[in-house]
């Protein structure tokens, strides 16, 4: 049976046309899925009963099943989803950041194995489908009452988005559709550790999200240890790929930098970072490590973080220090991991 949740609106219309059903019913179903959060054909009351009964015999609609929600003391909410095959993933709602933000997963686990990330400890179990990625947003939007409001989407949950390129880009097209949520690409941020060939492909896309590059180190030896993909695509290749990315007017690439006490937080690291980013339209987001059991690094002191940030700012690098959200429920950056 065809899963309508895996289709963009045009594909949905064509699927119905192939069944001899007028195409406009595809738009109706798409609106039910996204704008109303309804995935039960029997409840789609602007379709005739006869059509609903016929579709029930030939198509299905799969939605990630919400099985647990935890709310942090700071208002951040973490959602545990069960997928159709029983696999588990996590997503996060971060309110007032200053916009409302959904952090969604793109894989079950992750193959990148960054040394400070719990998701990387899982290894890669499988890619998510486009419907599973968009499905997280469908559920989150209606669970939070934001389906008819503007919100941001960050692809920073479990997985490396560019390692699941086709499904990720299709999900963004599905979310951007005016008959769905109409999520403007400027409200979407894709985070990557630096899958360079996929970055070159992304540069050619019509639908271009904001880009966040997880750098985390300023020397090749250091990054080889912290971000193993660096052994395949080193810092020089990564920065070169960043220079080739088309940017909107006033747009910048965000460089994410997780700070690890005694590892990459020295003044020398800060000065090397300034040199690496020279000439790039860039901003740096410093993320003091969110400590967790199983991660063999420590969080630097606030003084060390401030010193590092000051060196960047004094050298005309736009810099911010990310406030960790949801740490008490293991929902902060690098802490998403399911138990099986």
**CATH code of the domain containing 291:** 3.20.20.70
Q: Check whether 327 has a pLDDT greater than 90.
A: no
Residues whose CB falls within 8 Å of the CB of residue 30, separated by 6 or more in sequence, listed in order: 9, 12, 177, 179, 180
Q: How many domains does the chain have?
A: 2
Regarding whether 34 and 12 lie in a shared domain, the answer is: yes
Residues whose CB falls within 8 Å of the CB of residue 33, separated by 6 or more in sequence, listed in order: 4, 5, 39, 61, 138, 180
Q: Look over the chain and give the mean of its residue pLDDT values, rounded to a whole number.
A: 94
Domain that includes residue 293, residue range: 65-329
- Is the residue at 37 inside a domain? yes
The pLDDT of residue 64 is 98
Please say whether the beta carbons of 143 and 80 come within 8 A: no
Is 4 in a helix, a strand, or coil? Answer: helix
The pLDDT of residue 27 is 97
- Is the residue at 318 inside a domain? yes
Regarding whether 69 and 48 lie in a shared domain, the answer is: no
Whether the link from the prior residue into 254 is cis, omega within 30° of 0, is no
Side-chain half-sphere exposure of 125, counting CA atoms within 13 A: 21
- Element (DSSP H or E) covering residue 68: strand 65-71
Q: Check whether 330 has a pLDDT greater than 80.
A: no
Regarding whether 172 and 152 lie in a shared domain, the answer is: yes
Please say whether the beta carbons of 123 and 113 come within 8 A: yes
The pLDDT of residue 294 is 83
pLDDT above 90: percentage of residues in the chain = 87
- Is the residue at 212 inside a domain? yes
- With CA atoms as reference, report the closest residue to 259 among 320, 189, 337, 192: 320
pLDDT in tens, 217-258: 999 999 999 999 999 999 999 999 999 999 887 789 999 999
Regarding whether 39 and 137 lie in a shared domain, the answer is: no
Regarding whether 123 and 169 lie in a shared domain, the answer is: yes
What band does 158 get if pLDDT is binned at 50, 70 and 90?
Answer: very high
Q: Check whether 44 has a pLDDT greater than 80.
A: yes
- Residue, of 214 and 340, whose pLDDT is higher: 214
Regarding whether 101 and 53 lie in a shared domain, the answer is: no
Across 100-117, average pLDDT: 95
pLDDT in tens, 268-283: 999 999 999 999 999 9
Q: Check whether 336 has a pLDDT greater than 70.
A: no
The pLDDT of residue 221 is 97
- Is the residue at 340 inside a domain? no
Please say whether the beta carbons of 280 and 242 come within 8 A: yes
Across 283-303, average pLDDT: 92
The pLDDT of residue 338 is 65
- Cα angle 23-1-51, degrees, rounded to a multiple of 5: 40
Regarding whether 177 and 153 lie in a shared domain, the answer is: yes
What band does 304 get if pLDDT is binned at 50, 70 and 90?
Answer: very high
CA 249 to chain centre: 23
Count of all residues that appear for the chain in the document: 340
Regarding whether 148 and 22 lie in a shared domain, the answer is: no
Rounded-to-10 torsion of CA 308, 313, 317, 320: 70
Regarding whether 161 and 284 lie in a shared domain, the answer is: yes
- Is the residue at 220 inside a domain? yes
- In whole angstroms, give the CA distance from residue 320 to residue 326: 19
Q: Check whether 332 has a pLDDT greater than 80.
A: no
- Cα angle 170-174-176, degrees, rounded to a multiple of 5: 115
Q: Check whether 109 has a pLDDT greater than 80.
A: yes
- Is the residue at 101 inside a domain? yes
Regarding whether 264 and 171 lie in a shared domain, the answer is: yes
For the annotated catalytic residues, the residue numbers are: 90, 333
Q: Check whether 322 has a pLDDT greater than 90.
A: no
Last residue of a domain, one of 60, 81, 108: 60
Instruction: Give the CATH number for residue 35.
Output: 1.10.150.530
The pLDDT of residue 292 is 83
- Is the residue at 46 inside a domain? yes
Last residue of a domain, one of 60, 84, 105: 60
Regarding whether 21 and 88 lie in a shared domain, the answer is: no
Regarding whether 163 and 55 lie in a shared domain, the answer is: no
CA distances, 124 to each of 64, 120, 128, 163 (Å): 19, 8, 11, 10
Q: Check whether 331 has a pLDDT greater than 70.
A: no
The pLDDT of residue 248 is 81
Across 125-144, average pLDDT: 98
Across 143-157, average pLDDT: 96
Radius of gyration of the chain (CA): 21
Last residue of a domain, one of 27, 43, 60: 60
Q: Check whether 315 has a pLDDT greater than 60.
A: yes
Packing angle, helices 165-176 and 130-143, rounded to 10: 40
CA distances, 181 to each of 35, 36, 134, 148, 301 (Å): 6, 10, 10, 8, 41
The pLDDT of residue 153 is 98
Burial class (CB in 10 A: 0-12, 13-18, 19+), 135: buried
Side-chain half-sphere exposure of 30, counting CA atoms within 13 A: 26
- Is the residue at 335 inside a domain? no
Is 285 in a helix, a strand, or coil? Answer: strand
């Amino acid at each position: 049976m065809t899963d309508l949740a895996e289709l963009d609106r045009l594909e949905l219309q064509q699927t119905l046309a192939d069944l001899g059903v007028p195409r406009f019913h595809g738009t109706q179903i798409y609106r039910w899925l996204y704008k109303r959060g309804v995935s039960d054909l029997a409840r789609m009351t602007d379709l005739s009963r006869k059509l609903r009964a016929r579709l029930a015999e030939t198509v299905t609609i799969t939605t990630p099943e919400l099985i647990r929600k935890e709310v942090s003391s700071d208002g951040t909410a973490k959602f545990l989803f069960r997928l159709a095959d029983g696999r588990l993933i996590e997503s996060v709602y971060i309110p007032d950041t200053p916009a409302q933000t959904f952090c969604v997963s793109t894989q079950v686990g992750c193959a990148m194995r960054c040394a400070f990330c719990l998701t990387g400890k899982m290894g890669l179990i499988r890619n998510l489908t486009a419907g599973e990625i968009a499905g997280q947003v469908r559920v989150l939007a209606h669970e939070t009452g934001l389906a008819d409001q503007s919100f941001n989407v960050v692809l920073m949950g479990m997985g490396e988005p560019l390692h699941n390129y086709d499904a990720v880009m299709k999900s963004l097209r599905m979310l951007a559709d005016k008959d769905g949520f109409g999520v403007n690409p400027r409200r979407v941020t894709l985070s990557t550790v630096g899958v360079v060939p996929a970055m070159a492909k992304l540069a050619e896309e019509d639908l271009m999200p904001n880009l966040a590059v997880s750098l985390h180190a300023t020397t090749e030896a250091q990054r080889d240890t912290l971000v193993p993909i660096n052994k395949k695509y080193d810092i020089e290749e990564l920065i070169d790929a960043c220079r080739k990315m088309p940017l909107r007017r006033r747009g910048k690439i965000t460089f994410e930098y997780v700070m690890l006490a005694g590892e990459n937080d020295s003044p020398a690291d800060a000065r090397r970072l300034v040199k690496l980013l020279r000439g790039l339209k860039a901003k740096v987001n410093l993320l003091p490590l969110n400590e967790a059991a199983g991660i063999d690094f420590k969080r630097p002191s606030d003084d060390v973080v401030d010193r590092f940030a000051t060196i960047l700012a004094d050298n005309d690098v736009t810099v911010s220090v990310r406030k960790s959200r949801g740490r008490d429920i293991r929902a902060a950056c690098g802490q998403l991991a399911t138990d099986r």
